[in-house]
């Protein structure tokens, strides 16, 4: 079979990259130098030059060499571990070498190097498969949504097989489509041949083209077909011995499948009995179990009882999937478990001491948690939505479009109401047609495909996602309506009837939306885009062919839904995928450019996993669009902020040498109540929270004058009872000074703060800031001798009018632009300026917090813009130094800080708004406060995601 133009282009890119990789000075890699290298490659292979798009080669090489990657962060425990991985041990590894060589044709050199280092780290934290005796290592790799986790664990599997792991099990989602897609990827990256049922001729693919030596060819127990999951009929004929090549199992997280696998392990693989339990066990074959999407289904959602001694009930029965995974692990005396997820919250909530007789310990990642860095070209939640700032979100890309016509204001009528049921009939203005926002989204996808074609990316895949309902019956109708719309566009653009009107609409969208966004993305420097050498007419010329190639598909969990992009034979697949839960998690949509998303889950992990639009968008980031509601945009902002906060805490703990258990305790007490489903947090009714080491800010505010006036009165009551303040405080900071407009009080008794919080009403939607809960927490900490004395800062200096709060106390009000208004709620971005949090620290403590921030800092471009060292301490470092001190800096766990701000009313007829923030020092006391959850609310919020 002759190579496609895309294959030839990739080969030229690979060889040019290899010629350039030894250039020490990246600035020396110019367009002219790349051109010289292309000439060299074509001199060796002249036929590759026929029809070669040299501009596309040059653009891709420039992109790869401008990419940079931060370093991974790791929390690990050496308990029971023997270090073993050395360079000498890796010398003759062939699975990894062929995978590396294969990836070099697809990734930038920096990305391949980082993959090598990162997989070495994970493998080294596991146990040597040649080590005798009992061992069990369990870890978690935390990536970003759509950031290449599959590629990472494929590399890990290759190295593990080289090292001597014999049984490799990959748990690949709950549905056939994801299992099948994972099998396809491992066929390419590990096996080197296509897994098909029956005795068909072996088709070499992927790494098999680099090294197809039958002596190293891994065995497979599952295949890529719809019915290719593990089954006993096939397994009866499989003989596994320690001398054989490794065996690969890619299985669903399905009770029947896992029971079948466990039964087969015990009956056909086990070689002895456990002396204590009598169970059949495997002692001669080391196991590596990879748990993809480890936060989904693997976590035990039962509520286990613990005795007075804090030990778990050994007779407790875990939930089915969790129970079977653990039983498979304990069936091997030598086992390694590595979970992969972008949303680790549920895994961290696993009780670290939980164990049962039959299942052994729970899946808590006690050996390590590795936080994967991402390349500079990764587009995550922070890039799309920005991070919270004083005046809204900062740094977001102009890619989000607000959907207002899919549901009525009360959420009950129109095309897709938020609370619709099965068999709902989507109607817009009484007709069974898509709403204008979805029509525009489809048009945007049509334009994106056309632009990519004109840019020479026609061989690349392009996808659109439509995720508006979890009900299959409703998806079918959405699919029909979208297909009708695409068919109408196709007929008009190809046949000419009504063509003029369609082209006018598309041109309007192109000029009003696409041109300015492309200019903005180009100005950001994120995509390395250069000026397009074409205009509207070139797009018009390709539109008829592009719209003819677009397919509309339903994704409902079967293997045929896995969208085997590799079967396109060099032609890019252009697909609009309509689906629900089975589309939302794990399944990769290649070349995803337009997403239309209406689901209303507020669970952080569910939202993150549904964000399939995050990922890599080389050469077409400017063409990407997310059509969604203002409510979901706000919640995705919370996701970005919470993830950044937890990753900063992770960095600090890494510097401090903390273990996964210590980080687990930190996340378990994080006061964001909707981190994950309450079931995964061990309780559907009660949460135990700690605010130690946290900053809380009121960013959901009342719009009703009654509550606002009562809060104003509560604030004046607090201030009237205070002694004389320090006016316009000034603090030394390094070699300079910082000054604030406002007032500062020190050593205020905790009772005054508790009274204020008891009087102050926080908005019921402010899930992270419940004033009564904060008051109870402070009371409990005071009983432990902490948070007994407070600093109060009333901070002004804004651009608003002046507000008098007490005799002699007046401040300029700050202005905050509401990002959302909903009934009796005003939502703002951030209340505080970051520098305000350290207002209570003297210069020595401030410098210690800055040193800690810098030590923990590393250039992870997926989270941070640029690579310059921080010049001020971050919040987690300030709280850690305040509570735990540093050499030469005393600890003050007794000292909290309350910040008060006056906000100028953003609407007429509203009184002045008082908002507060509280900074709690880090503490090792472990004190928590009980929060009672309204179970009806949880069921409403989580029903769609469970």
End residue of a domain, out of 616, 637, 658: 637
Q: What is the pLDDT of residue 303?
A: 53
C-alpha distances (whole Å) from 140 to each of 75, 337, 345 are 10, 8, 11
Q: What's the pLDDT band for 936 if we cut at 50, 70, 90?
A: very low
Residue 650 is assigned to a structural domain of this protein: no
DSSP 8-class letter at 501 = H
The CA distances from residue 512 to 444, 542, 600, in Å, are 12, 20, 29
Closest by Cα among 258, 189, 180, 251 to 221: 251
- Condensed to tens digits (0 to 9), the pLDDT of residues 506-518 reads 999 999 999 999 9
pLDDT value of position 943? 35
Task: List strand residue ranges (DSSP E) for 634-788, in order.
Answer: 686-689, 695-697, 700-702, 726-727, 730-733, 736-739, 742-749
Per-residue pLDDT of 258-317, as tens digits, reads 999 999 999 989 999 988 888 899 999 999 999 988 776 666 655 544 444 555 555 556
Residue 877 clears pLDDT 70, i.e. is over it: yes
* Of 331, 348, 371, the domain-final residue: 371
pLDDT: is 769 or 252 the higher one?
Answer: 252
Segment 605-628 mean pLDDT: 72
- For 589, counting Cβ atoms within 10 Å of its Cβ (0-12 exposed, 13-18 middle, 19+ buried), the class is buried
Contact 381, 607 (CB under 8 A): no
Q: Angle between the 320-330 and 255-264 helix axes, to the nearest 10 degrees?
A: 20
The Cα-based distances of 277 to 133, 261, 331, 444 in angstroms read 17, 20, 11, 62
Residues 6+ apart with CB under 8 A from 232: 260, 263, 264
DSSP state of 387: E
Residue 669's pLDDT band, with cuts at 50, 70 and 90, is very low
**Is residue 110 classed as helix, strand or coil in its secondary structure?**
helix
The mean per-residue pLDDT over the stretch 858-863 comes to 56
| The pairing of beta strand 334-341 with beta strand 287-292 | parallel
- Single out the residue of 837, 806, 842, 812 nearest to residue 724, CA to CA: 806
H-run or E-run covering 597? strand 592-597
What's residue 294's pLDDT?
77
- Asked if 384 and 628 count as a contact pair (C-beta separation under 8 A), the reply is no
Q: Distance (Å, rounded) from C-alpha 37 to C-alpha 15?
A: 8
Helix, strand and coil percent figures for the chain, each rounded to 5: 40, 20, 40
Residue ending a domain, choose from 329, 352, 371? 371
Q: Which of 25-39, 389-403, 532-546, 579-593 comes out lowest in average pLDDT?
A: 579-593
Starting at the edge strand that comes first in sequence, how are the strands of the sheet with 550-555 ordered? 400-402, 625-628, 592-597, 462-467, 574-579, 550-555
Q: Is residue 673 part of a domain?
A: no
Is 821:827 a contact under the CB 8 Å cutoff?
Answer: yes
> Does 692 have pLDDT greater than 60?
yes
290-299, 618-627, 928-937: segment of lowest average pLDDT: 928-937
Better pLDDT: 935 or 501? 501
Least confident of 189-203, 607-621, 743-757, 819-833: 607-621
More confident residue, 419 or 692: 692
- What H or E segment, with its residue span, contains residue 334? strand 334-341
Asked if pLDDT for residue 199 goes beyond 90, the answer is no
111 in any annotated domain: yes
Residue 681: predicted pLDDT: 42
Other CB atoms within 10 Å distance of the CB of residue 204: 14
- Quick one: average pLDDT of 187-213? 89
Residue 662 is assigned to a structural domain of this protein: no
> How confident is the model at residue 611, as a pLDDT?
56
Digit-coded pLDDT (tens) for 582-596: 554 545 678 888 989
Helix (H, G, I), strand (E, B) or coil at 830: coil
Please identify which residue in the block is written with the tokens 């390709």.
542
Q: Are 402 and 630 in contact (CB under 8 A)?
A: yes
**Angstrom distance (rounded) from CA 756 to CA 779:** 13
pLDDT at 760: 96
User: Rounded CA gap, 233 and 238, in Å?
Assistant: 10
Q: Tell me if 646 is assigned to some domain.
A: no
Q: Which residue has the tokens 């006036």?
A: 709
* DSSP conformational letter for 571: S
8-state DSSP, 265: I
| pLDDT average, residue stretch 204-229 | 91
Q: Which of 67, 52, 60 is nearest to 7 (CA)?
A: 52
Looking at per-residue pLDDT, the higher value among 83 and 927 belongs to 83
> Residue 129 — φ and ψ, nearest 5°?
-65, -20
Q: Which two tokens stand for residue 238?
A: 């499989």
Query: In this predicted model, which residue has the larger pLDDT, 362 or 583?
Result: 362
**pLDDT exceeds 60 at position 680:** no
Please check whether residue 678 lies inside any domain of the structure.
no
The lowest-confidence range among 75-89, 152-166, 584-598 is: 584-598
Q: Does residue 564 sit in the same domain as residue 431? A: yes
State the pLDDT at residue 755.
97
Q: What is the pLDDT of residue 782?
A: 96
- How far CA 16 is from CA of 34, 37, 457, in Å, comes to 7, 6, 19
Per-residue pLDDT, 581: 61
pLDDT in tens, 129-144: 999 999 999 998 987 6
Whether residues 247 and 337 share a domain: the answer is: yes
- Verify that 62 and 109 share a domain, yes or no: no
Which comes out higher in pLDDT, residue 864 or 393? 393
Question: 836-860, pLDDT tens digit by residue?
Answer: 999 999 999 999 999 998 888 765 5
- Among 18-22, 45-49, 65-69, 514-518, the minimum mean pLDDT is found in 65-69
Confidence of residue 676 (pLDDT cuts 50, 70, 90): very low
CATH number of the domain where residue 350 is located:
3.40.50.300
* CA separation for the pair 356, 332 (Å, rounded): 16
Cβ-based neighbour number of residue 879 at 10 Å: 27
**Non-local CB neighbours of 2 within 8 Å, separated by 6+ positions:** none
Tell me which residue range forms the domain holding 499.
Answer: 378-637
Per-residue H/E/C for 245-305: CCEEEEECCCHHHHHHHHHHHHHHHCCEECCCCCCEEECCCCEEEEEECCCCCCCCCCCCC
Main-chain phi, psi angles of 638, to 5 degrees: -60, -40
* 86 and 172 co-located in one domain: yes
- Rounded to whole angstroms, the Cα distance separating 790 from 881 reads 16
* pLDDT beyond 50 at 690: yes
**Residue of 944 and 789 predicted with greater confidence:** 789
N- to C-terminal Cα separation, the chain? 47
What CA–CA distance (Å, rounded) separates 356 from 687?
23
Measured CA distances, 59 to 573, 598, 706 (Å): 22, 36, 60
**Residues 70, 373 contacting (CB under 8 angstroms):** yes
Average pLDDT over every residue of 781-789: 95
Q: Is the pLDDT of residue 887 over 60?
A: yes
Q: What is the pLDDT of residue 168?
A: 97
- Token duo for residue 836: 């305000």
In total, how many domains does the chain have? 4
944 found inside a domain: no
Q: In this model, does residue 923 exceed pLDDT 90?
A: no
Percent of the residues in the chain that have a pLDDT greater than 70, as a whole number: 79
Q: Do both 323 and 466 map to the same domain? A: no
Six-digit token pair at 323? Answer: 């129970």
> Is residue 174 domain-resident?
yes
Query: Which backbone phi and psi does 387 adopt, to 5 degrees?
Result: -115, 155
Share of the chain above pLDDT 90, in %: 43
Identify the pLDDT of residue 945: 32
Q: How confident is the model at residue 890 (pLDDT cuts 50, 70, 90)?
A: very high
- Cα torsion for 646, 652, 654, 657, to the nearest 10°? -130
Region of poorest pLDDT, from 88-102, 360-374, 535-549, 781-795: 360-374
Q: Are 286 and 164 in contact (CB under 8 A)?
A: yes
Q: Which residues contact 715 (CB under 8 A, 6 or more apart)?
A: 756, 760, 805, 900, 914
pLDDT value at residue 391:
65
d(CA 338, CA 319) in angstroms, rounded, equals 20
Nearest-angstrom CA–CA distance, 903 and 800: 8
What is d(CA 313, CA 11) in angstroms, rounded to the nearest whole number?
59
This prediction has a pTM of: 0.72
- What pLDDT band is residue 22 in, cutting at 50, 70 and 90? low
Q: φ and ψ at 524, to 5 degrees?
A: -75, -20
Q: Tell me the pLDDT band of 614, cut-offs 50, 70 and 90.
A: low
323 and 401 in one domain?
A: no
Q: Give Rg (Cα) of the chain.
A: 29
Of 629, 598, 679, 638, nearest to 939 by C-alpha is 679
**Residues 877 and 847 sit within 8 Å (Cβ to Cβ):** no
The answer for residues whose C-beta is within 8 angstroms of residue 124's C-beta and 6 or more apart is: 83, 84, 85
715, 795: one domain? yes
Tokens for 895, please give them: 């000292």
Residue 109: pLDDT band (50, 70, 90) is confident
Same domain, 325 and 419: no
Backbone angles phi, psi at 508, to 5 degrees: -60, -45
Element (H, E) at 826: strand 825-827
> Stretch 83-108: mean pLDDT, rounded?
91
Same domain for 618 and 695, yes or no, is no
**Tell me, what's the pLDDT at 946?**
31
Q: Determine the Cα–Cα distance for residues 786 and 894; give it in Å rounded to an integer.
A: 4
| Arithmetic mean of pLDDT, 741-757 | 97
399, 451, 540, 903, 912 from 915: Cα distances, Å:
31, 48, 54, 7, 10
**Between 600 and 496, where is the model more confident?**
496
| Residues contacting 5, CB < 8 A, separation 6+ | 51, 52, 53, 459, 570
Phi, psi of 300 (to 5 degrees): -70, 120
Over range 906-926, report the average pLDDT: 89
Provide the mean pLDDT of the chain.
82
For residue 559, what pLDDT is reported?
Answer: 42
Residue 128 has pLDDT above 90, yes or no: yes
- pLDDT surpassing 50 at residue 72: yes
- Assign 3-class secondary structure to 280-296: EEECCCCEEEEEECCCC
User: Per-residue b/e over 728-756, b at no fewer than 16 CB within 10 Å?
Assistant: ebebebeeeebebebbbbbebebebbbbb
Beta strands 825-827 and 700-702, pairing class: antiparallel
Same domain, 115 and 259: yes
Determine how β-strand 592-597 pairs with β-strand 625-628: parallel
The Cα–Cα gap between 81 and 513 comes to: 56
Instruction: Check whether residue 386 and residue 365 sit in a common domain.
Output: no
Q: Say if residue 340 is in the same domain as residue 405.
A: no
- Comparison of pLDDT for 916 and 569, the residue scoring more: 916
pLDDT of residue 602 exceeding 60, the answer is: no
> Does position 31 have pLDDT exceeding 60, yes or no?
yes
């Amino acid at each position: 079979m002759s190579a496609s133009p895309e294959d030839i282009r990739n080969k030229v890119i690979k060889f040019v990259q290899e010629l350039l990789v030894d250039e020490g000075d990246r600035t020396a890699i110019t367009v002219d130098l790349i051109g010289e290298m292309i000439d060299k490659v074509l001199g060796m292979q002249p036929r590759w030059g026929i029809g070669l798009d040299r501009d596309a080669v040059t653009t891709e090489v420039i992109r790869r060499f401008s990419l940079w990657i931060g370093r991974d962060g790791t929390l690990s425990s050496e308990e029971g571990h023997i270090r073993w991985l050395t360079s000498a041990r890796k010398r003759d590894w062939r699975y990894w070498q062929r995978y590396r060589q294969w990836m070099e044709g697809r990734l930038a050199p920096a990305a391949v190097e980082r993959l090598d280092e990162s997989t070495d780290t994970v493998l080294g934290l596991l146990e040597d498969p040649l080590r005798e005796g009992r061992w069990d290592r369990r870890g978690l790799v935390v990536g970003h949504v759509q950031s290449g986790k599959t590629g990472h664990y494929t590399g890990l599997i290759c190295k593990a097989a080289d090292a001597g792991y014999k049984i490799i099990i990959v748990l690949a989602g709950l549905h056939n489509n994801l299992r099948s897609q994972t099998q396809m990827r491992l066929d390419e990256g590990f096996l080197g041949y296509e897994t098909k049922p029956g005795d068909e001729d072996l088709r070499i693919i992927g790494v098999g083209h680099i090294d197809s030596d039958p002596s190293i060819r891994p065995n497979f127990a599952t295949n890529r077909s719809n019915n290719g999951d593990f089954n006993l009929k096939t397994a009866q004929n499989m003989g596994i011995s320690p001398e054989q090549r490794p065996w690969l199992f890619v299985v669903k997280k399905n009770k029947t499948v896992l029971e079948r696998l466990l039964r087969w392990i015990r009956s056909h693989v086990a070689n002895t009995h456990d002396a204590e339990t009598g169970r059949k066990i495997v002692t001669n074959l080391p196991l590596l179990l990879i748990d993809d999407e480890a936060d989904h289904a693997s976590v035990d959602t039962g509520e286990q009882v613990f005795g007075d001694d804090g030990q778990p009930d050994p007779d407790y029965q875990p939930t089915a999937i969790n129970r079977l995974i653990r039983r498979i692990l304990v069936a091997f005396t030598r086992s390694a478990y590595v979970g992969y997820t972008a949303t680790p919250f549920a895994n961290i909530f696993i009780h670290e001491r939980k164990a049962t007789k039959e299942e052994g310990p729970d899946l808590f990642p006690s050996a390590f948690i590795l936080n994967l860095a991402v390349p500079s070209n990764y587009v995550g939640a922070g890039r799309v939505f920005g991070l919270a700032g004083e005046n809204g979100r900062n740094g977001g890309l102009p890619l989000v479009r607000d959907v207002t016509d899919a549901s009525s204001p009360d959420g009950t009528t129109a095309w897709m109401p938020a609370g619709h049921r099965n068999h709902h009939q989507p109607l817009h203005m009484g007709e069974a047609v898509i709403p204008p926002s979805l029509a525009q989204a489809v048009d945007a996808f049509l334009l994106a495909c056309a632009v990519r074609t004109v840019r020479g990316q026609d061989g690349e895949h392009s996808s659109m996602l439509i995720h508006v309902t979890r009900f299959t019956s409703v998806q079918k109708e959405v699919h029909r309506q979208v297909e009708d719309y695409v068919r109408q566009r196709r007929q008009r653009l190809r046949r000419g009837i009504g063509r003029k009107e369609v082209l006018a609409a598309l041109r309007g969208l192109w000029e009003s939306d696409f041109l300015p966004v492309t200019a903005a993305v180009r100005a950001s420097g994120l995509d390395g885009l250069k000026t397009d050498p074409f205009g509207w007419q070139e797009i018009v010329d390709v539109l008829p062919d592009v719209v003819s190639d677009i397919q509309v598909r339903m994704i409902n969990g079967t293997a045929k839904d896995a969208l085997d992009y590799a079967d396109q034979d060099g032609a890019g697949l252009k697909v609009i995928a309509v689906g629900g839960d089975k589309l939302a998690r794990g399944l990769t949509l290649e070349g995803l450019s337009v997403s239309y998303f209406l689901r209303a889950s507020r669970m952080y992990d569910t939202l993150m996993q549904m964000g399939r639009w995050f990922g890599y968008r080389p050469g077409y980031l400017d063409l990407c669009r997310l059509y969604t509601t203002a409510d979901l945009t706000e919640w995705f902002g919370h996701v970005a902020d919470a993830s950044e906060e937890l990753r900063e805490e992770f960095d600090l703990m890494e510097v401090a040498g903390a273990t996964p258990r210590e980080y687990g305790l930190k996340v378990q007490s994080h006061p964001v109540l909707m981190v994950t489903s309450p079931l995964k947090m061990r309780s559907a009714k009660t949460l135990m929270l700690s605010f130690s080491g946290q900053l809380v800010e009121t960013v959901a505010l009342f719009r009703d004058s009654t509550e606002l006036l009562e809060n104003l009165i509560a604030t004046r009551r607090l201030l009237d009872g205070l002694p004389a303040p320090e006016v316009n405080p000034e603090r030394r900071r390094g070699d300079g000074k910082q000054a604030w407009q406002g007032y500062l009080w020190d050593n205020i008794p905790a009772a005054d703060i508790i009274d204020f919080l008891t009087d102050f009403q926080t908005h019921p939607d402010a899930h992270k800031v419940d004033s009564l809960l904060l008051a109870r927490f402070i009371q409990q900490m005071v009983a432990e001798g902490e948070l007994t004395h407070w600093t109060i800062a009333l901070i002004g200096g804004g651009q608003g009018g002046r507000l008098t709060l007490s005799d002699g106390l007046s401040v300029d009000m700050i202005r905050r632009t509401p990002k959302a208004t909903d009934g009796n709620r005003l939502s703002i971005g951030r209340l505080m300026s970051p520098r305000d949090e350290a207002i209570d620290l003297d210069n020595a403590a401030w410098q210690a917090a800055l040193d800690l921030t810098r030590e923990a800092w590393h250039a992870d471009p997926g989270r941070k813009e640029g690579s310059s060292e921080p010049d001020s301490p971050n919040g987690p470092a300030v709280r850690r130094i305040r509570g735990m001190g540093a050499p030469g800096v005393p600890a003050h766990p007794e000292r909290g800080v309350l910040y008060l701000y006056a906000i100028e009313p953003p609407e007429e007829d509203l009184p002045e708004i008082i908002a507060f923030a509280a900074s709690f020092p880090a503490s090792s006391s472990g004190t928590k406060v009980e929060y009672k959850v309204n179970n009806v609310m949880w069921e409403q919020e989580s029903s769609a995601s469970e």
